[in-house]
């Protein structure tokens, strides 16, 4: 279905003229908005929280509008400033200091945000883990990062490994529990005893702030390392792309275990002192429309998977709700189908603005601005201060309309600064001064970028990145499984689903029960979103002569496509 270009709407976007902004822009202009440009004292926690708490006009403003099926809470900037001071005191008391890694493994809750800023206030590096992770996923991340403290809930404690984690000294438990022993810290007791005053640890713009683990096509998940300097880009994009204004009520639906949930679920709105809605619990269309309505959300950042689900819930569902405050919708994480944009025009009478970026890039890079014509199916254009291009494998730029590697000129403010423990992996992203994203795309004559697909084997299921190697490794831990190859299979709702091909060990027979048991094994061992939806038993898995699983071939077979060059196939 062809969907026509959608012209700019009436209104007063913060960024009025995109082309003009690009011409003369320098990042130094944005730096003027931060207190550190005058004081020299830097900390994200100051700019996002304490700065507003010190402002008599803002301190009693609602920072967080939290709700979940069984809890609702309003937290002001002043509340958040004080509670995060308390938590910083707790961490300090137990010896946490600058550069230490402190991980969070808990559902979205006011305590999550309190802890998160407490971590930053002592100068430590926060590592948020998605609450659906199971033991193996938690273990890999804690081991690699060498985290010394973990904050979790009694419900999730069962998934926290109790061995093989020599660096993990303390576990903070949020909620009622019956753990005793030196290793455990009771959140409530310690918070009650802690002072609401804290001497912020001032850091350097290049000091570590955040570790987000993400999946590649090979090996274990990698720790993408971000520094405080990223705030420059969070601030700017919140203004230009989210179009945030002082009185907005903003809702980003992403979990802070993923980068969207931190960069745009924490930093971007709060750097501007904007009221931030956080909704915990599972997705249902009724609940999501209800949240938009109840909190009179004005700006909404979500993902294609959710939009597709809302779309399939039908027109009735949306028309039941009064959503007139909503004025701006954005999407990220996977290709945004033109059909969904077209539905958005009917359902909300609003344009849906696609944005492209990655865990590694730390913030939005290629976007549809409110002040720009939308070409449905296109990710839009690079933000001011960023140069994007399509390059070949040697890093040479390609002409318009030619497909190649989507690449960004090195040096934007929110760029990752390292892959934790893996300098060679970090280096491998860069060719000839370009950061090469792993996505393929082309650029049209007018400078709009069009996403084509991933160039590696990384699977994007419902907007979440899953590494096939991780799933394969888990599968072969099951006693019945001998070998495994995992691919992403196109799916109309989820973008891709995970399909696994396996061979069985002697003595095992293929059956529905066995396949279900294997699926469950991945689900409970690794994480629900990484469990294959489809499992197929094969006599053999195609491998190269050097023993690498040929996922491309599996995919071609699955999709009935030509198999291409198979000269490296084992036999």
| Beta strand 434-443 pairing with 275-279 | unpaired
Phi and psi for 183 in degrees, rounded to 5? -75, -25
The C-alpha atoms of residue 14 and residue 33 are separated, in whole angstroms, by 15
Non-local (6+) Cβ contacts of 20 within 8 A are: none
Given the complex with ligand WTA, which of 86 and 359 has the nearer CB atom?
Answer: 359
Stretch that binds ligand WTA, among 49-57, 328-336, 393-401, 527-535 (CB under 6 A): 328-336
Given the complex with ligand WTA, which of 62 and 437 has the nearer CB atom?
Answer: 437
DSSP string, 319-336: HTS--TT--EEEEESS--
Q: Which of 118, 123, 223, 335 binds ligand WTA (CB under 6 A)?
A: 335
The C-alpha atoms of residue 356 and residue 326 are separated, in whole angstroms, by 22
Closest CA to 255 of 439, 533, 459, 527: 527
CB-CB neighbours of 131 under 10 Å: 21
List, in sequence order, the alpha helices (H) in 68-205. Answer: 77-93, 110-121, 135-145, 187-193
Q: Site residues for ligand WTA, window 372-391 (CB under 6 A)? A: 379
Q: Site residues for ligand WTA, window 203-242 (CB under 6 A)? A: 214
Shortest distance (Å) from residue 245 CB to ligand WTA: 24
Shortest distance (Å) from residue 46 CB to ligand WTA: 26
The C-alpha atoms of residue 342 and residue 384 are separated, in whole angstroms, by 27
According to the binding rule CB under 6 A, does residue 333 interact with ligand WTA? yes
Given the complex with ligand WTA, which of 236 and 514 has the nearer CB atom?
Answer: 236
Phi and psi for 64 in degrees, rounded to 5? -120, 125
Given the complex with ligand WTA, which of 81 and 355 has the nearer CB atom?
Answer: 355
Given the complex with ligand WTA, which of 126 and 341 has the nearer CB atom?
Answer: 341
478: left (phi over 0), alpha (psi -120 to 50) or beta: beta
Q: Which of 81, 359, 368, 371 binds ligand WTA (CB under 6 A)?
A: 359
224 bridge partner residues: 212, 419
Binding mask 288-327 for ligand WTA (x = CB under 6 A): ----------------------------------------
Given the complex with ligand WTA, which of 407 and 484 has the nearer CB atom?
Answer: 407
Stretch that binds ligand WTA, among 227-235, 286-294, 310-318, 431-439 (CB under 6 A): 431-439
Q: CB of 417 within 8 A of CB of 226?
A: yes
The C-alpha atoms of residue 264 and residue 246 are separated, in whole angstroms, by 16
Q: Which of 236, 259, 408, 537 binds ligand WTA (CB under 6 A)?
A: 259
Stretch that binds ligand WTA, among 230-238, 312-320, 413-421, 434-442 (CB under 6 A): 434-442
What H or E segment, with its residue span, contains residue 47? none
What H or E segment, with its residue span, contains residue 74? strand 71-76
Given the complex with ligand WTA, which of 122 and 379 has the nearer CB atom?
Answer: 379
466 bridge partner residues: 459
Q: Which of 43, 89, 378, 437 binds ligand WTA (CB under 6 A)?
A: 437
Given the complex with ligand WTA, which of 112 and 356 has the nearer CB atom?
Answer: 356
Instruction: Count residues near ligand WTA (CB under 6 A).
Output: 22
According to the binding rule CB under 6 A, does residue 61 interact with ligand WTA? no
CA Rg value for the chain = 24
Q: CB of 300 within 8 A of CB of 251?
A: yes
Q: Which two tokens stand for residue 28?
A: 């130094």
Shortest distance (Å) from residue 279 CB to ligand WTA: 19
Q: CB of 277 within 8 A of CB of 224?
A: no
Shortest distance (Å) from residue 215 CB to ligand WTA: 9
Q: How far is CA 109 from CA 78, 152, 160, in A?
A: 17, 11, 19
Phi and psi for 355 in degrees, rounded to 5? -135, 145
Stretch that binds ligand WTA, among 146-154, 329-337, 414-422, 559-567 (CB under 6 A): 329-337
Shortest distance (Å) from residue 568 CB to ligand WTA: 26
Q: Which of 79, 140, 239, 439 binds ligand WTA (CB under 6 A)?
A: 439
According to the binding rule CB under 6 A, does residue 357 interact with ligand WTA? yes
Q: In which residue are the tokens 């890039």 written?
A: 361
Strand boundaries in 475-564, DSSP class E: 481-491, 495-504, 534-537
SS3 523: helix
Q: Site residues for ligand WTA, window 400-429 (CB under 6 A)? A: none
According to the binding rule CB under 6 A, does residue 334 interact with ligand WTA? yes
CB-CB neighbours of 395 under 10 Å: 15
According to the binding rule CB under 6 A, does residue 66 interact with ligand WTA? no
Stretch that binds ligand WTA, among 280-288, 356-364, 474-482, 534-542 (CB under 6 A): 356-364
Stretch that binds ligand WTA, among 77-85, 119-127, 305-313, 435-443 (CB under 6 A): 435-443
Non-local (6+) Cβ contacts of 314 within 8 A are: none
Count of alpha carbons within 13 Å of 119, Cβ hemisphere only?
28
Q: Which of 119, 242, 318, 332 binds ligand WTA (CB under 6 A)?
A: 332
Given the complex with ligand WTA, which of 258 and 267 has the nearer CB atom?
Answer: 258
Stretch that binds ligand WTA, among 156-164, 200-208, 351-359, 411-419 (CB under 6 A): 351-359
Instruction: State the DSSP code for 283.
Output: -
According to the binding rule CB under 6 A, does residue 256 interact with ligand WTA? no
According to the binding rule CB under 6 A, does residue 260 interact with ligand WTA? yes
Q: Which of 465, 499, 515, 555 binds ligand WTA (CB under 6 A)?
A: 465
According to the binding rule CB under 6 A, does residue 252 interact with ligand WTA? no
Given the complex with ligand WTA, which of 454 and 543 has the nearer CB atom?
Answer: 454
Given the complex with ligand WTA, which of 88 and 379 has the nearer CB atom?
Answer: 379
Q: CB of 425 within 8 A of CB of 490?
A: no
296: left (phi over 0), alpha (psi -120 to 50) or beta: left
According to the binding rule CB under 6 A, does residue 460 interact with ligand WTA? yes
Q: Which of 354, 457, 472, 496 binds ligand WTA (CB under 6 A)?
A: 354
In the complex, the residues that contact ligand WTA under the rule CB under 6 A are 214, 258-260, 332-335, 354-359, 379, 437-439, 451, 454, 460, 465
């Amino acid at each position: 279905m062809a969907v026509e270009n959608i012209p700019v709407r009436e209104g007063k976007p913060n960024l009025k003229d995109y082309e003009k902004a690009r011409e003369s822009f320098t990042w130094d202009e944005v730096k003027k908005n931060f207190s550190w440009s005058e004081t020299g004292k830097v900390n994200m926690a100051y700019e996002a929280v304490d700065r507003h708490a010190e402002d008599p006009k803002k301190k009693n403003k609602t920072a967080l509008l939290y709700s979940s099926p069984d809890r609702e809470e309003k937290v002001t900037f002043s509340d958040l400033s004080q509670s995060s001071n308390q938590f910083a005191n707790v961490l300090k008391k137990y010896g946490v200091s600058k550069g230490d890694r402190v991980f969070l493994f808990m559902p979205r809750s006011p305590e999550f945000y309190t802890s998160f800023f407490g971590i930053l206030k002592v100068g430590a590096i926060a590592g948020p883990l998605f609450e659906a992770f199971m033991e193996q996923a938690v273990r890999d991340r804690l081991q690699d990062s060498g985290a010394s403290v973990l904050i979790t809930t009694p419900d999730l404690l069962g998934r926290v490994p109790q061995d093989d984690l020599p660096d993990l000294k303390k576990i903070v438990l949020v909620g009622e529990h019956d753990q005793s022993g030196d290793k455990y810290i009771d959140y409530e007791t310690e918070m009650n005893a802690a002072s609401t005053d804290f001497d912020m640890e001032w850091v350097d713009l290049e000091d570590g702030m955040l570790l987000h683990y993400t999946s590649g096509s090979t090996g274990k998940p990698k720790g993408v390392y971000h520094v405080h300097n990223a705030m420059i880009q969070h601030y700017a994009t919140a203004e230009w792309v989210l179009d945030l204004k002082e009185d907005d009520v903003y809702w980003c639906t992403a979990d802070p275990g993923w980068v969207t949930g931190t960069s745009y679920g924490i930093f971007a709105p709060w750097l501007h002192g904007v009221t931030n809605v956080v909704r915990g619990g599972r997705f249902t269309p009724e609940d999501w429309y209800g949240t938009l309505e109840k909190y009179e959300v004005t700006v909404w950042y979500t993902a294609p998977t959710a939009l597709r689900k809302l779309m399939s819930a039908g027109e009735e569902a949306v028309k039941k709700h009064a959503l007139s405050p909503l004025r701006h919708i954005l999407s990220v994480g996977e290709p945004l189908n033109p059909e969904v944009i077209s539905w958005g025009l009917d359902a909300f009478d609003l344009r849906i603005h696609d944005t492209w970026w990655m865990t590694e890039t730390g913030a939005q890079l290629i976007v549809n601005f409110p002040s720009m014509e939308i070409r449905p199916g296109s990710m839009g254009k690079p933000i001011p201060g960023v140069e994007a291009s399509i390059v070949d494998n040697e890093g040479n730029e390609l002409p318009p309309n030619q497909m190649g590697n989507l690449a960004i000129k090195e040096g934007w403010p929110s760029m990752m600064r390292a892959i934790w423990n893996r300098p060679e992996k970090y280096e491998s992203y860069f060719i000839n001064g370009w950061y090469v994203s792993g996505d393929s795309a082309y650029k049209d004559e007018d400078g709009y970028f069009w996403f084509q697909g991933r160039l590696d084997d990384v699977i994007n299921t419902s907007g979440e990145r899953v590494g096939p190697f991780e799933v394969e490794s888990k599968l072969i831990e099951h006693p019945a499984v001998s070998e495994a190859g995992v691919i992403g299979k196109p799916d109309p709702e989820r973008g891709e689903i995970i399909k696994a091909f396996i061979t069985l060990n002697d003595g095992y027979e293929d059956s529905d029960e066995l396949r279900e048991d294997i699926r469950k094994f991945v689900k409970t061992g690794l994480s629900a979103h990484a469990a294959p939806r489809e499992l197929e038993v094969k006599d053999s898995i195609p491998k190269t002569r050097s023993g690498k699983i040929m996922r491309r071939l599996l995919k071609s077979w699955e999709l009935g496509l030509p198999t291409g060059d198979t000269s490296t196939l084992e036999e």
